[in-house]
Chain A
Amino acid sequence: MLIAGSVPGEASPGLEHFEDKVRPLLVEHCYECHSAGHKIKGGLRLDHRAGWETGGDSGPALTPGDPATSLLLRAISYEDRDLKMPPKQKLSAGQTAILRDWIAAGAPDPREEVPGDPAPARIPARDISAAALWSFQPPAVPTEETRRPRVKDTAWPRDAIDHHILAELEQAGLTAVPDAPPEALVRRLFFDLTGLPPSAEEVSNFNAEACGPLVDRLLASEAFAERWAQHWLDITRFAESSGGGRTLPFKDAWRFRDYVIESIHREVPLDQMIREHLAGDLLPAPTTADRTRQLTATAFLALGPTNYEEQDKGVLRMDIIDEQLETMGRSFMGLTLGCARCHDHKFDPVTTKDYYALAGIFRSTQTLRDYTSNVAHWVDLPLPPGPALEEALQQKDRQLASLQTELQQITALIKTQQPMSGSLTAGGPAAAADLPGLVLDDSAARIVGDWKPSTTYRNYIGQGYLHDKKAEKGTCTATFIPSIPETGRYEVRVAYTPAPGRATNVPVHILHADGEEDLSIDQSVPPPLDGRFVSLGTFRFEKDGAGFILISNEGTNGIVTLDAIQLLSGKDRPSAQADRAAEIPADLDAPARQKQLQAEIKSVQNKPPFRPETMGVQEDAEPGDCPVHIRGSIRNLGPIVPRGFIRAAMIPGLPAIPPGQSGRLQLAQWMTHPKHPLTARVMINRIWMHLFGEGLVRSVDNFGASGETPTHPQLLDHLAHDFIHDGWSLKKLVRRLVLTRTYQLAGSPLPGTASWSARQAADPDNRLLWRAHRRRLDANALRDAILTVSGQIDRRFLGPNVQAGTVDPNSTEAQTLEYSYVFTDLRRSVYSPAFRNRRLEFFENFDFADINGPIGQRTRATIVPQALFFLNHPFIIGQSQSTARRLAGLPPSAPEQERLDWLWRSVLGRTPTDAERRQALDYLTLPSSRPVPTTEEARWAQLVQTLFATADFRFLD
């Protein structure tokens, strides 16, 4: 023991100090969060000596004898912004001194014993090794035995899958219910495969014996691709704006949507799609079409709900990486990786080291244009344009280049023509009212400091101008607060009177609606515009917003003058007219030609053709490994972890990550490796869930220890094996699944079904699949079904819906695009604008599915706003009226009975029961209401609306 005088039984002065001063202080101010029986925050205990010796997540709390390097002292000194303890109130100087003295004296601490166990952990310790978790075991290779488990009723199964299901049922002493009636099966197939209802005719004509050809037809349809793309877009949290604080529209996100739809339509293997999502930019691309697809796929990593205005860009960077990891982990592996950002995963074999090994890969990937802008921006990747467009674009580039060359020459010429001395007093005084736009004279500015009025140089605006007497630098400011008549973009101009000896570096600070700018004016040279103004650029200002222009004399090197500012909107910019007038330039009118050239360049730039681009990611210029961020903090870094993957799921023989690369390519290879224990299983389980209502693993997004175990583990492995063997083909798998006997079982009791309720009692959750699950149609299917029944649906395949192509994300249009978007299109729901702060009301009500994160399963809530929507929303009323008109257009001979049959088949996929028929007929023949008579068509429309509103429309049997 190094502690002086630590002789048992004899209190040394050091120990006395500890007992009298230090211990009470620790008890009062630290134990609440750092002792047994309370909490142990940051892993640190201060209730016994070993506690501070070992320290918490950030290492030993103190170095005996050396206060200067002791973490504890740094924390209580409140000097480190990120580590201030105790958090509520700084200790007094005296208290700090007590601890400093104690540490300086070698930190004598007699508390050898470890006090009783901490408050009982809420989560019992459990084995979190990979060996203990089923999902980290490689899938078993099926044998003849396991492929087709033995069953008693050998006539029942159609596919090996059915053997698995029946074997379990027989084991439990159960049998499956009979097959679904044809009208239920055809509705099930149409909704599952295409997300659309069968027409009344398809319901009547369906032949359950010849299912195969119908399935093939549906698989080949565009509607199949649209429906299954929606499932994929759900797990990739597809959206068309960033949402959150300052939502920015993703102008090219639609390209990602189209990429997914087309890939599914053209049967791109799902493992390839995953590789393209993670590393499309790094894969070989034989054709420009491939290159376009693959670059577009990387939008997966860029589409998150990023808070671009986060001010601490270091935090922003790690938050983006976290979002990428969490989304990738959940979508493709069913893991919650985000947990390991701050500590080793509590349930799953994922450590903090694994997290930062993966984080290093995304840290070496560029997701933002830069990490300095006030409001950050994603990366726009140019897409290969194709030969015709390329030619047009090059033509445009040449035109721009020649204009710019001329502009440079003219600008140089103007410079040489400018007089050198301060004899310029062009113009003379002008009244603010005579100038266009919004003019604020110096008399309207809010003045700080000692400015002196002057009229010496005559070309001022208003009654004179102000100057700072070249004194008191940094004490004078003037703030101009324009009262903006309407939100929009304004050119900001500043007027000053030039003279020799004026400052060449006058700072101007502009706060506009999209951020701030720090600019500088040289007041020693004449203002270029009419000898009065200099233009500072065009910025967006909001009506009633907080915008201002501030001029100061901070750090200036000469006299600063202040005359006026002018704000010009597009409307009142005189140059617009002037430019046109000056189209035939006078020989030596260089300034006019300059202006004209500037306008021309702008106009060419803003006209098509545009170089197509997509949002995506690329390799960072400086790839490298990432340190562990202790407790997730960017300012408390631990050891550097080499880039890599989850060690518990390592696959031997994978290439290492080369030093100059991010490692995304290797990540993509690891993720889709046939030996990866999770990816194929997770994917199959998702597909199974969409067809059967529940996954074989019911927690579809969680294959970790806190998720569920598979109901049919052998079947899952068998399917995984075949899926990989079949080249990760979605269509092959779907075809196989829907042709099983299990898929085609009844979901509701038919007249005469024996012992339905006995089965119900034995397996109420239908975990053994003795019947089909009755499912809820999601919002997309509901809306598309209504539009199909009414005949109003617009079936345009692919292509953008939101016209955001030329919208600058920091412009007025971008801001209003989302907030005042009017949803009018009648396209399939997959194309509905997917703004994160504002969705089609239908979707808000029917799955408040938050598109901020991956959605493995839509919510299945029944809430009052849904009922109000069906009762009162103009969309439902309008579509019901269209349907009534369609009904009226049926052959005139069709009696009401037939119309009712058509309606019931179209909406519910079945004919009405006698009781329903009677009620409907009674309703249609109700006496007309007064004073406004109800027409027959209106009555029909009300009936249609009521049928849409019923519970059965929302369910799929």
Chain B
Amino acid sequence: MTTRRHLLKTTACGFGSLALAAMCQNQASGQPLFLRPGHVPARAKRVIFLFMAGGISQVDSFDYKPRLAKENGNKRSFDDARSVAKTGKGAEQRVMQSLWEFRQRGQSGQWASELFPHLAGLMDELCVVKGMHTEGVAHGPATLFLHTGTTNFIRPSMGSWISYGLGTENDNLPSFVSISPSLSNGGPRNYSTAFLPPVFQGTPLGRTGQPAAEATIRNLNNQILSSGDKNRQFGLLRGLHQEQLHQAAGSGHQEAVEAVINSYELAWRLQANAPDVLDLAGESAATQSLYGIGQKPTDNFGRQCLMARRLAESGVRYIQVNYTDNSNNPAWDQHGNMPQHKNHAMAVDQPVAGLLQDLKQRGLLEDTLVWFGSEFGRTPYAQDNGTGRDHNPLGFTQWLAGAGVKPGFSYGETDEFGHLAIAGKIHMHDLHATILHLLGLDHERLTFRHAGRDFRLTDVHGHVVKEILS
């Protein structure tokens, strides 16, 4: 009776691959996150995304532009993204040199400034992409674009797409977590499923502003019951559910009841497992200090990074670590005060370097892709002829490391000023396509039918950047 055609036409998930139909069936019995193969051989099993909200300046960090020092203070015309969006024209701007000195590093000779001294020591591990460009001139639109591939429409976030595509490797933990996310600049939309089934929703761990030491999954603990009472109460729930299941026998409703029962069993296991995974106390003093835990500027982000490693180890598919705050001008947004970049760098540099070293020494870097970046970069000229830099979505730098990407490698470039990407350009859609590819997913085949058509993370765009694959 149930033909494939019938199935495709009527399942709640709509049109799609048979794997998807299978998934819908599994969802009914509470197992929608079952592990499934991708479209192409995977190089990475999981992603750790270190999100640097606000916009790191590429010309002060990894994109060395000697011309800026030569022309420091000169006025020249630039196609400033903000003034182009507002007026359709560029504007006269004052060139501003990097505030931090650049040197070539390691065997690879990659350039890095003094801004990130610990990361500068790991340039041989990094695959630095310097021809990034994206959409959205303001934080909200650009941040949403980074996470969902659109500045304005309601679309699933990248982690949700990946969970949808691959399922989870650990039935006792969520497949997609976001550590200390912000409420602003898109807030929950940056880890939401939109129209994908809700099971692919990202699970927030804590929130920005709350100390990372307190970050946990919501409602993990019953605050008033003793553990004996908890056990007894869960026993009663199981007993009542057995009776309800018995009553539903033969009605065609059993599957729905079983799905609820399964969700409680999973919750019960999560209550038992998650606290251990999130508890950093068992980590050695050496590991903790590698991440800068216990020292003032690095403690908080160090904890977030170490938590990320523990989640990666436990099989969480997509882990986002947020360095942000709840303001409209988040962390790295130095419009008026470039030197403040240093404070933020000091908070993240050692923890990120520690994470890379720790992943490497545990062999996790082989199948974990680490991604570091902001929603856009900053201008190589002073904003309003002042002492800060404005947003620049037209050319900026991010880096990847680990599974499937070339280590100690630079790709792409901006113009002589570090303003516009001109060669080896990677649009944010391209980066999304590439990360999906590394995970074994073809961005053109990872689709979901909604409101009458197929949707993709990359819309109708995106190319896999083969040049950076190892």
Given contacts A245-B186, A307-B151, contact A347 B141 (CB under 8 A): no
Instruction: Determine the distance from Cα of A720 to Cα of B229 in the docked complex, in whole angstroms.
Output: 56
A460-511 contacts to B (CB < 8 Å)? 474-475, 477, 479, 481, 509, 511
Instruction: Determine the distance from Cα of A951 to Cα of B270 in the docked complex, in whole angstroms.
Output: 19
- A310 → chain B closest CB, angstroms: 6
Closest to A445 in B: B387
Tell me, yes or no, whether A833 is within 8 Å of chain B by CB.
no
List, in ascending order, chain A residues with CB within 8 A of B221's CB. Answer: 872
- B82 → chain A closest CB, angstroms: 6
List, in ascending order, chain B residues with CB within 8 A of A877's CB. Answer: 222-224
Question: Would you give the 0/1 interface string for B254-275, flagging 1 where the beta carbon is closer than 8 Å to chain A?
Answer: 0011011111101110110000
Q: Do B184 and A949 touch across chains, with their CB atoms under 8 A apart?
A: no
Instruction: Determine the distance from Cα of A955 to Cα of B233 in the docked complex, in whole angstroms.
Output: 22
Q: Which residue from A702, A774, A850, A862 sits with its C-beta under 8 Å from B30? A: A862
Tell me, yes or no, whether A811 is within 8 Å of chain B by CB.
no
Question: Would you give the 0/1 interface string for A756-780, flagging 1 where the beta carbon is closer than 8 Å to chain B?
Answer: 1100100011000000001010000
Q: Do A869 and B329 touch across chains, with their CB atoms under 8 A apart?
A: no
Tell me, yes or no, whether A622 is within 8 Å of chain B by CB.
no
Instruction: Determine the distance from Cα of A932 to Cα of B224 in the docked complex, in whole angstroms.
Output: 11
Q: Do A477 and B386 touch across chains, with their CB atoms under 8 A apart?
A: yes
Instruction: Determine the distance from Cα of A853 to Cα of B156 in the docked complex, in whole angstroms.
Output: 13
- A370 → chain B closest CB, angstroms: 13
B83-100 contacts to A (CB < 8 Å)? 84-86, 94
Q: Do A448 and B189 touch across chains, with their CB atoms under 8 A apart?
A: no
Question: Would you give the 0/1 interface string for A223-252, flagging 1 where the beta carbon is closer than 8 Å to chain B?
Answer: 000000000000000000001111100000
Q: Do A932 and B226 touch across chains, with their CB atoms under 8 A apart?
A: yes
A904-938 contacts to B (CB < 8 Å)? 913, 915-916, 919-920, 923, 926, 929, 932, 934
Q: Which residue from A244, A863, A865, A873 sits with its C-beta under 8 Å from B186? A: A244
Instruction: Determine the distance from Cα of A834 to Cα of B262 in the docked complex, in whole angstroms.
Output: 31
Tell me, yes or no, whether B232 is within 8 Å of chain A by CB.
yes
Q: Do B237 and A946 touch across chains, with their CB atoms under 8 A apart?
A: yes
List, in ascending order, chain B residues with CB within 8 A of A509's CB. Answer: 384, 386
Q: Do A869 and B85 touch across chains, with their CB atoms under 8 A apart?
A: no
Tell me, yes or no, whether A650 is within 8 Å of chain B by CB.
no
List, in ascending order, chain B residues with CB within 8 A of A853's CB. Answer: 154
A839-897 contacts to B (CB < 8 Å)? 841, 847-848, 850, 852-853, 859-869, 871-874, 877
List, in ascending order, chain A residues with CB within 8 A of B143's CB. Answer: 245
Given contacts A89-B425, A245-B139, contact A546 B337 (CB under 8 A): yes
Q: Do B10 and A552 touch across chains, with their CB atoms under 8 A apart?
A: no
Q: Do A311 and B240 touch across chains, with their CB atoms under 8 A apart?
A: no
Q: Which residue from B174, B240, B337 sits with its C-beta under 8 Å from A916? A: B240
Q: Which residue from A41, A312, A946 sits with its C-beta under 8 Å from B240? A: A946
Dominant secondary structure at the A interface:
loop
Tell me, yes or no, whether A690 is within 8 Å of chain B by CB.
no
Given contacts A448-B382, A872-B222, contact A701 B451 (CB under 8 A): yes
Instruction: Determine the distance from Cα of A861 to Cα of B221 in the docked complex, in whole angstroms.
Output: 23
Given contacts A867-B264, A923-B236, A946-B233, contact A765 B10 (CB under 8 A): yes
Tell me, yes or no, whether B5 is within 8 Å of chain A by CB.
no
**Interface-located stretch among B191-199, B281-289, B297-305, B313-321:** B191-199
Instruction: Determine the distance from Cα of A359 to Cα of B68 in the docked complex, in whole angstroms.
Output: 47
Tell me, yes or no, whether B104 is within 8 Å of chain A by CB.
no
List, in ascending order, chain A residues with CB within 8 A of B325's CB. Answer: 544
Q: Which residue from B12, B199, B226, B337 sits with its C-beta under 8 Å from A863? A: B199
Interface size of B by CB at 8 A reads: 111
Q: Do B453 and A848 touch across chains, with their CB atoms under 8 A apart?
A: no
Q: Do A850 and B240 touch across chains, with their CB atoms under 8 A apart?
A: no
**Interface-located stretch among A124-132, A185-193, A262-270, A704-712:** A704-712
Q: Which residue from A348, A511, A862, A868 sits with its C-beta under 8 Å from B260? A: A862
The number of inter-chain residue pairs (CB within 8 angstroms) is 300
List, in ascending order, chain B residues with CB within 8 A of A538's CB. Answer: none
- B200 → chain A closest CB, angstroms: 10
Given contacts A872-B221, A950-B237, A951-B241, contact A552 B263 (CB under 8 A): no
Tell me, yes or no, whether A48 is within 8 Å of chain B by CB.
no
Q: Which residue from B140, B240, B246, B384 sits with its C-beta under 8 Å from A919? A: B240
List, in ascending order, chain B residues with CB within 8 A of A554's CB. Answer: 385
Closest to B27 in A: A861
List, in ascending order, chain B residues with CB within 8 A of A919's CB. Answer: 236, 239-240, 243
Q: Do B152 and A307 touch across chains, with their CB atoms under 8 A apart?
A: yes
Given contacts A848-B198, A864-B263, contact A513 B327 (CB under 8 A): yes
Q: Which residue from B94, B188, B194, B219 sits with its C-beta under 8 Å from A869? A: B219
Tell me, yes or no, whether B363 is within 8 Å of chain A by CB.
no
Q: Which residue from A764, A848, A867, A945 sits with its C-beta under 8 Å from B267? A: A867
Q: Do B260 and A545 touch across chains, with their CB atoms under 8 A apart?
A: no
Q: Do B425 and A548 touch across chains, with their CB atoms under 8 A apart?
A: no
Tell me, yes or no, whether A392 is within 8 Å of chain B by CB.
no
Tell me, yes or no, whether A942 is within 8 Å of chain B by CB.
yes
Given contacts A339-B453, A706-B452, contact A542 B327 (CB under 8 A): yes
List, in ascending order, chain B residues with CB within 8 A of A916's CB. Answer: 240, 243
Q: Do A934 and B263 touch across chains, with their CB atoms under 8 A apart?
A: no
B210-232 contacts to A (CB < 8 Å)? 217-226, 228-229, 232
Given contacts A474-B385, A915-B243, A951-B257, contact A865 B151 (CB under 8 A): no
- B452 → chain A closest CB, angstroms: 4
- A234 → chain B closest CB, angstroms: 15
List, in ascending order, chain B residues with CB within 8 A of A765's CB. Answer: 10
Q: Do B453 and A346 touch across chains, with their CB atoms under 8 A apart?
A: yes
Q: Do B152 and A310 touch across chains, with their CB atoms under 8 A apart?
A: yes
Tell me, yes or no, whether A748 is within 8 Å of chain B by CB.
yes
Most B-side CB within 10 Å, residue of A339, A548, A701 = A548
Instruction: Determine the distance from Cα of A151 to Cα of B139 in the docked complex, in whole angstroms.
Output: 64
Tell me, yes or no, whether B310 is within 8 Å of chain A by CB.
no
Tell me, yes or no, whether B361 is within 8 Å of chain A by CB.
no
Tell me, yes or no, whether B144 is within 8 Å of chain A by CB.
yes
List, in ascending order, chain A residues with CB within 8 A of B224's CB. Answer: 877
Question: Would you give the 0/1 interface string for B347-374, flagging 1 where the beta carbon is closer than 8 Å to chain A?
Answer: 0000000000000000000000000000
List, in ascending order, chain A residues with CB within 8 A of B329's CB. Answer: 513, 542, 545-547
Tell me, yes or no, whether A627 is within 8 Å of chain B by CB.
no
B1-26 contacts to A (CB < 8 Å)? 1-2, 9-10, 12, 15
Q: Do B138 and A708 touch across chains, with their CB atoms under 8 A apart?
A: no
- B168 → chain A closest CB, angstroms: 11
B162-209 contacts to A (CB < 8 Å)? 174, 183-189, 192-195, 197-199, 201, 203
Instruction: Determine the distance from Cα of A841 to Cα of B223 in the docked complex, in whole angstroms.
Output: 17
Tell me, yes or no, whether B440 is within 8 Å of chain A by CB.
no
A684-698 contacts to B (CB < 8 Å)? 698
Q: Do A871 and B222 touch across chains, with their CB atoms under 8 A apart?
A: yes
List, in ascending order, chain B residues with CB within 8 A of A869's CB. Answer: 219
Q: Which residue from B30, B222, B252, B382 sits with its C-beta under 8 Å from A764? A: B252
Q: Do A950 and B154 touch across chains, with their CB atoms under 8 A apart?
A: no
> 6 tightest A-B contacts by CB?
A245-B140, A548-B336, A867-B267, A837-B187, A951-B260, A546-B329
Can you list 16 residue pairs at the A/B interface with Cβ under 8 Å? Answer: A89-B423, A89-B424, A244-B140, A309-B141, A446-B336, A448-B73, A475-B75, A511-B336, A513-B327, A542-B328, A702-B452, A838-B187, A863-B263, A864-B174, A865-B218, A929-B229
14 extra A-B contacts, CB within 8 A, seeds A336-B451, A850-B195, A862-B262: A87-B427, A246-B328, A312-B85, A336-B453, A339-B452, A448-B387, A706-B453, A837-B189, A860-B12, A862-B256, A867-B264, A868-B220, A942-B229, A946-B237
Residues of chain A having any CB pair with chain B under 8 Å: 41, 81, 87-90, 243-247, 305, 307, 309-313, 319, 330, 336, 338-339, 346-348, 446, 448, 474-475, 477, 479, 481, 509, 511, 513-514, 542, 544-548, 550, 552, 554, 698, 701-702, 704, 706-708, 748-749, 756-757, 760, 764-765, 774, 776, 815, 818-819, 837-838, 841, 847-848, 850, 852-853, 859-869, 871-874, 877, 913, 915-916, 919-920, 923, 926, 929, 932, 934, 942-943, 945-947, 949-952, 954-955
